[in-house]
Structure 1
Amino acid sequence: MVADNVLLFRNDESEGDIVYQNIIRFLDKKGRKSERTRVSYEKHIGDFFKVMRNKDIEDLKIRDIQITLEDFEDFMQRMMDSKMIANKTINNITGTMRGLLQDLNLRTYNGKKLIEDVSYLYVKDSIPKLNETTNSYGSLTVSEVKQIAELVIKEEKFEATSKRLFILFCLDTCARKTAALNIEWSNFIVYDDHVEVRYTDKGGKEFKPKIKKEFYEELLQLKCESVEKVFNFSSTAADDMFKRALSKLDIDEGRNIVFHSIRKAGAKYLYSITGDILYVQKVLGHSSPKTTMVYIEVEEYGVIGAVSSTMNLDLDILNKISHEELLKVIKSCNSDMKLLLALQAKKILEK
């Protein structure tokens, strides 16, 4: 019944109850067309208040929701400085917050508006949208990620093995850092030839990446009785560990490398193996293949076609060059191409 979703305010309800119930009212309204939209909006609102007020939405008071233009500016600056989320996500969060504040401005409690002033929201460009054409962070190669993992095992004083395996797990599964930190042993489904990792990430999306049994057996050395989580350290500890290891490598600061660059490396590797953008889109949980193409830096234009790229090329050239020349060709390849060649060589040798 429609009446089941109606929120009735009692006279003895606290202002905290009123704030939370009105946020739920806003979310319910947004969720009428799509439950996924409701989930996204709830996460956006929760993220904003966690950063700006260090509170969950259930604990907010009326004074906490008096959001100013300066609050928006500070939030956007913090997120850009942290390089933890893309500009598009920052724009989505601020857009959701604008809608929420405009809605709460229409609500009253004890004869007063829940939010006193939102006039700045109606001023053009008062909260400018950030450029979404590029990611705010760069990418690593697979070999660079593995180098970082090996540096961690050498340099970290605490939980070095766990942190090394965490990096490799994020690379192997393309899981986001927060999702990987929430992985529990019950998420692993063991089959004869592989292990499936089943988990739910943001937006309620389900993921089922596969890992080799040998890697799963490595992970098992972290298992402790009465501890369900696989990786038992904080997101901040993961970032700090990554920064320490990164500082040991000769990587240009202009590349904007952050922990999330590991996921990007895994995604680019999958694309180089499969050449299937739709498969990589599914692995990453993107809603559009265009998002995935930007993410892994695949251009839609400027590629030389099959005819143009093979003009004046002797397709039998590999059969004509010497063993030494072939080795020179292989050595001149980038690290990810060498990895692909090594995988192909392994297949041939195992036949």
Structure 2
Amino acid sequence: MKTVKLVRGEQNGEEIILINFDPDPKVESHLIGLPGLKRNNSNGKFHLKNSAKNLGLLFNHLRKIKCYVDYSELSQKQVAAPVKRKRLFLPPIDSFHKEDLMRFRKWLEEKRLSPHTVNTYVEVTHFFVRYSILKKSKSYTKHLVESFNYEFIVCEGKSVSYQNQCINGIKKYFLFKDMDIGTLDLIRPKKERKLPVVLSKMEVRLLMDVTHNLKHRTLLALIYSGGLRIGEAINLKVDDIDSKRMLIHIKGGKGKKDRYTLLSQSFLETLRQYYKQYKPKAYLFEGQNSSTYSRSSAQWVLKNAILRAGIRKEVTLHTLRHSFATHLLENGTDIRYIQELLGHSSPKTTMIYTHVTENSIKNISNPFDDL
């Protein structure tokens, strides 16, 4: 009987259940189907959020393949538990502000912002309004915004990207309210300059090989082979595939710009198989209860493929787009063409791929080799 040992651990300030066992493909394959399962990129070990519910799920899941589950260490009390800062509790919104936010949403939609941007701005403004209710503020001031920024964003450990979204949303809200935002002097923090995570061609091939569901494999192949954003992929229509010219027509991409990108001959064969089996009507990828496939479903598809492939990099759907651009550059494609295929407004955005391509560093002589 295979033994699996469950140990208490911690990640990003959250208690987790570490799942330890000797290498076994059967156990690993069985674990991948468990909801909420995550994998550590450094050591490849699986873990779950530590809760009684997850412990029960994990125990029953492992018993299905007749594993002996040793969870004795989980019952031990944690020594010197860190003192956590009390989380900020925001009160519910009142009817007046609820109607005000509904008008704000309509105002944003009239500006023809993308649905995703509208939802984001309304959501972050919703938090800000609730914060102002908590503080019993009678007006929106610079001090209130700065206080919200510190307590709700900085102290809660939210990302710089999310902080920028909050400030952008609040700025739009103040414009909607016809307030003088100039006197508030809201400055967005600079984003961290991180290089994108890129998969090798072998890793991309492995992702496709372990994804046996035809619809899932077609979706991942489309995002990589066309260098698409996830929103562009799920909003793609059947008629946007131009197999005669071997192009994909992206309509209303980021910045409301249309463009063409490549249609791979190899992908076209997969796409034809998919079309014959699923027979999509309007959108290329349709959801079970909606006209389009959801972002969360697409993310779930990738997560499962990454787990099955045993890839330990921090991979998102956007990583496939980064990989497409990097591999084009490594193949000698002019960066101006890559910029057009990706739909970048500025060549500076595309230039980041010159920092991650193998060709840019692999020909440099390492001084250690000269010793």
User: What TM bracket, shorter-length normalisation?
Assistant: 0.5 to 0.7
What is residue 215 of structure 1 aligned with on the other side? 267
CA distance in 2, matches of 1:19, 1:262: 36
Residue 247 of structure 1, aligned match among 269, 283, 307: 307
**1:131-173 deviation per Cα after TM superposition (whole angstroms, max 9, x unaligned):** 33115x51111221120111111xxxxxx11111111111110
CA distance in 1, matches of 2:284, 2:131: 36
What is residue 88 of structure 2 aligned with on the other side? none
AA partner of residue 121 (structure 2): F
Alignment of 1:30-69 (within 5 A): 44-50=117-123
Alignment of 1:306-317 (within 5 A): none
Deviation of the 1:98 alpha carbon: 3.1
**1:195-228 deviation per Cα after TM superposition (whole angstroms, max 9, x unaligned):** 2211221211112112144532421222245622
**Structure-1-length-normalised TM-score:** 0.56
AA partner of residue 97 (structure 1): G
CA distance in 2, matches of 1:140, 1:91: 28
Deviation of the 1:53 alpha carbon: 5.8
Gaps of 5+ in 1: 1-13, 29-37, 55-61, 81-86, 108-117, 154-159, 310-351
Gaps of 5+ in 2: 1-95, 134-139, 287-292, 366-371
Deviation of the 1:250 alpha carbon: 4.0
Identity over aligned pairs, percent: 19
**1:326-349 deviation per Cα after TM superposition (whole angstroms, max 9, x unaligned):** xxxxxxxxxxxxxxxxxxxxxxxx
CA distance in 2, matches of 1:249, 1:276: 32
What is residue 183 of structure 1 aligned with on the other side? 236
Is 1:143 the equivalent of 2:202? Answer: yes
CA distance in 2, matches of 1:65, 1:42: 26
CA distance in 2, matches of 1:72, 1:228: 46
Residue 168 of structure 2, aligned match among 90, 93, 96: 96
- Does structure 1 conserve the Cα–Cα contact (< 8 Å) formed by 2:124 and 2:170? no
Alignment of 1:74-89 (within 5 A): 80=159
- Does structure 2 conserve the Cα–Cα contact (< 8 Å) formed by 1:185 and 1:230? yes
Give the 3 Å change call, closer, same or farther, for CA 198–213 of structure 1 in structure 2. same
Give the 3 Å change call, closer, same or farther, for CA 73–258 of structure 1 in structure 2. farther
Is 1:261 the equivalent of 2:261? Answer: no
What is residue 285 of structure 1 aligned with on the other side? 343
Deviation of the 1:75 alpha carbon: 7.1
Deviation of the 1:229 alpha carbon: 1.8
- The structure with more strand, counted as a fraction of residues: 2
* Secondary structure of 2:247's aligned partner: strand
CA RMSD of aligned residues (A): 4.4
Is 1:234 the equivalent of 2:288? Answer: no
AA partner of residue 195 (structure 1): M
**1:5-64 deviation per Cα after TM superposition (whole angstroms, max 9, x unaligned):** xxxxxxxxx987765556666888xxxxxxxxx65688534323357769xxxxxxx879
What is residue 41 of structure 2 aligned with on the other side? none
CA distance in 1, matches of 2:354, 2:132: 38
Deviation of the 1:279 alpha carbon: 1.4
Give the 3 Å change call, closer, same or farther, for CA 276–74 of structure 1 in structure 2. farther
AA partner of residue 302 (structure 2): F
Give the 3 Å change call, closer, same or farther, for CA 238–43 of structure 1 in structure 2. closer
Deviation of the 1:303 alpha carbon: 7.4
- Does structure 2 conserve the Cα–Cα contact (< 8 Å) formed by 1:72 and 1:94? no
Deviation of the 1:96 alpha carbon: 2.1
- Does structure 1 conserve the Cα–Cα contact (< 8 Å) formed by 2:221 and 2:267? no
CA distance in 1, matches of 2:355, 2:258: 25
- Does structure 2 conserve the Cα–Cα contact (< 8 Å) formed by 1:181 and 1:231? yes
Residue 205 of structure 1, aligned match among 253, 257, 260: 257
**1:160-200 deviation per Cα after TM superposition (whole angstroms, max 9, x unaligned):** 11111111111110011121111111111231xx4221122
CA distance in 2, matches of 1:152, 1:304: 31
CA distance in 1, matches of 2:192, 2:207: 29
AA partner of residue 211 (structure 2): V
Alignment of 1:104-143 (within 5 A): 104-106=176-178, 122=184, 129-135=189-195, 138-143=197-202
**Structure-2-length-normalised TM-score:** 0.53
Give the 3 Å change call, closer, same or farther, for CA 149–296 of structure 1 in structure 2. farther
AA partner of residue 147 (structure 1): L
What is residue 330 of structure 1 aligned with on the other side? none
Give the 3 Å change call, closer, same or farther, for CA 43–169 of structure 1 in structure 2. closer
- Does structure 1 conserve the Cα–Cα contact (< 8 Å) formed by 2:226 and 2:263? yes
Give the 3 Å change call, closer, same or farther, for CA 102–43 of structure 1 in structure 2. same
Deviation of the 1:94 alpha carbon: 3.1
Deviation of the 1:106 alpha carbon: 4.3
CA distance in 1, matches of 2:100, 2:123: 19
Give the 3 Å change call, closer, same or farther, for CA 90–64 of structure 1 in structure 2. closer
